[in-house]
Amino acid sequence: MEKYFPKAEKDVALNAYSTFRIGGKARYLIRVSDKEELEEAVKKSWELKIPFYILGGGSNTLISDKGFDGLVIIFKKQKPDVFVEEKGDFGTIETDASTPLSFLVGHLDGFTGLEWAIGIPGTLAGAINGNAGAFDESIADSIESVEVLEAGKEIKKKELSKKECGFDYRTSIFKSNPRLVILSARLKLKKGDKEKIKEKIKENLEKRRDHPPGFSLGSVFKNYYGEVDQAIVKKYPQIKNFQEKKGFVPAGFLIEECGLKGTRIGDAEISSRHANFIVNLEKAKSENVLKLMNLIKKEVKKKFLIDLEEEIQIFSP
Ligand SMILES: Cc1cc2nc3c(=O)[nH]c(=O)nc-3n(C[C@H](O)[C@H](O)[C@H](O)COP(=O)(O)OP(=O)(O)OC[C@H]3O[C@@H](n4cnc5c(N)ncnc54)[C@H](O)[C@@H]3O)c2cc1C
């Protein structure tokens, strides 16, 4: 390993690289500066059959306390390169996988379409992987294409169109296919009124005020878009309201109705401010979080006959 990755650090605690501050040690960790270095690291790992995992901002990933007996690839913190080409009323934006989403929101002065992303931590690649979104919009709305590395019999670099990315609510083909590595992406945004954009960003930040402060991964479960048993809808008329107004039932509502707000296992707590957030009060373990997640799923199933699906990703050996 030392021969092929001389800059790799050994036995690195991963909790420092997650917004949840949870996670065991990685046997090896390397920091890459740009997509060329990412490509090189991934190719070497594939060729040498070394298991690897790419961590963006670590803001959507529950890292196991058991750590990872392989190579974790993270991005160096540095000012990203963002190339903007204006064409009529639109701009095409090209940038690396590692570009923080928040940087894009702030940097793309005069372009509209990413205002929803204000306040979301993490990288563009992490957002593409899980089709991050808020307020009825998501990253898929702005993606034109994604440059990827794909491992098969040989390693190929290719450009996937938005359609080929298989975006859906909080998912994409990247989520289920670890043999696809995102190198960079091209976004298409419309030009907009600067003052209106600023106003929208301010409004969206305001809406995030109910989010619990502290260490978390944001929403743990996806909102529920499926059918609900009519007897249950009759008992909880709010469900019909949500379905009519939003098109889904918020996971937070279901969890709150189960009386789970404030439930604690170890230092992991179902937030009393927002039931779909689990917060790490100080020294929570991944096991504590998994137990809380199982409890939530069990109680929601029992009360509402609904199977909640995880929004967060679980990285375990
Ligand atoms: C306070 C808070 C609020 C949040 N609010 C929202 C919200 O409103 N909406 C929302 O959707 N999310 C929200 N999130 C969750 C999270 O911030 C987003 O999903 C974010 O886009 C994840 O990006 P990341 O870089 O941190 O991903 P990570 O957690 O680092 O990675 C996510 C997945 O992407 C994979 N990945 C990373 N880089 C690559 C690559 N180059 N190629 C292939 N796969 C890769 C990882 O292996 C992992 O499986 C919130 C989180 C927090 C803490």
Per-residue confidence in pLDDT tens, the chain, 317 aa: 888 899 999 999 999 999 999 999 999 999 999 999 999 999 999 888 999 999 999 999 999 999 999 999 999 988 899 999 999 999 999 999 999 999 999 888 899 999 999 999 999 999 999 999 999 999 999 999 999 999 877 889 999 999 999 999 999 999 999 899 999 999 999 999 999 999 999 999 998 887 898 999 999 999 999 999 999 999 999 999 999 999 999 999 999 999 999 999 999 999 999 999 999 999 999 999 999 999 999 999 999 999 999 999 999 87
Told to judge if 9 belongs to the known catalytic residues of this protein, a careful annotator would answer: no
Exposure string of 189-208, with b = 16+ CB inside 10 Å and e = fewer, is bebbeeeebeebbeebeeee
Residue 154 falls in the annotated catalytic set = no
Q: Which residue carries 């390993």 as its tokens?
A: 1
At 284 the pLDDT is: 98
Please check whether residue 33 lies inside any domain of the structure: yes
- 204: CB partners within 8 A, 6+ apart: 115, 116, 118, 119, 134, 135
Which residue out of 64, 216, 219, 286 is catalytically annotated? 219
126 Cα: distance to centroid of ligand 1 (angstroms): 4
Phi, psi of 236 (to 5 degrees): -120, 85
65 and 156 in a single domain? The answer is no
What tokens appear for 116 in the block? 């929803």
Question: Residues enclosing ligand 1, CB less than 6 A?
Answer: 19, 53-61, 97, 101, 120-123, 125-127, 129-130, 132-134, 174, 181-182, 211, 216-218, 313
Closest Cα to atom 51, ligand 1: which residue? 218
In the reported structure, the alpha carbon of residue 178 is separated from the centroid of ligand 1 by a whole-number distance in angstroms of: 15
- 218 dihedral zone (left: phi>0; alpha: psi -120 to 50; beta): left
Q: What is the reported pLDDT for 317?
A: 79
Residue ranges of alpha helices (H) inside the chain are: 35-48, 101-107, 124-130, 173-176, 194-207, 230-235, 237-245, 251-257, 286-304
Are 100 and 200 in the same domain?
yes
Residue where one domain finishes, among candidates 207, 225, 255: 207
147 sits in which H/E element: strand 143-151
Q: How far is CA 21 from CA 123, 128, 269, 304, in A?
A: 17, 23, 14, 32
The CATH number of the domain where 148 resides is what? Answer: 3.30.465.10
- Nearest residue by C-alpha to atom 49 in ligand 1: 313
Examine residue 31 and state whether it is found in any structural domain, yes or no. Answer: yes
Residue 4 within a domain? no
Number of domains making up the chain: 3
Q: Which of 115, 147, 269, 311 is catalytic?
A: 311
CA distance 219 to 222: 7
Angle value at C-alpha 127, between 192 and 296, nearest 5 degrees: 125
Q: Is residue 147 part of a domain?
A: yes
In a domain, 250, yes or no: yes
Query: Would you state the pLDDT for residue 210?
Result: 79
Q: How many Å apart are CA 112 and CA 119, to the nearest integer?
A: 16
Q: Identify whether residues 98 and 203 lie together within a single domain.
A: yes
Mutational pocket test of ligand 1: of 52, 120, 216, 219, the residue with most ligand atoms within 8 Å of the beta carbon: 120
- Give the domain extent around 193: 82-207
Give the 3-state secondary structure of residue 50: coil
**CA neighbor of 252 nearest in space, from 291, 289, 221:** 221
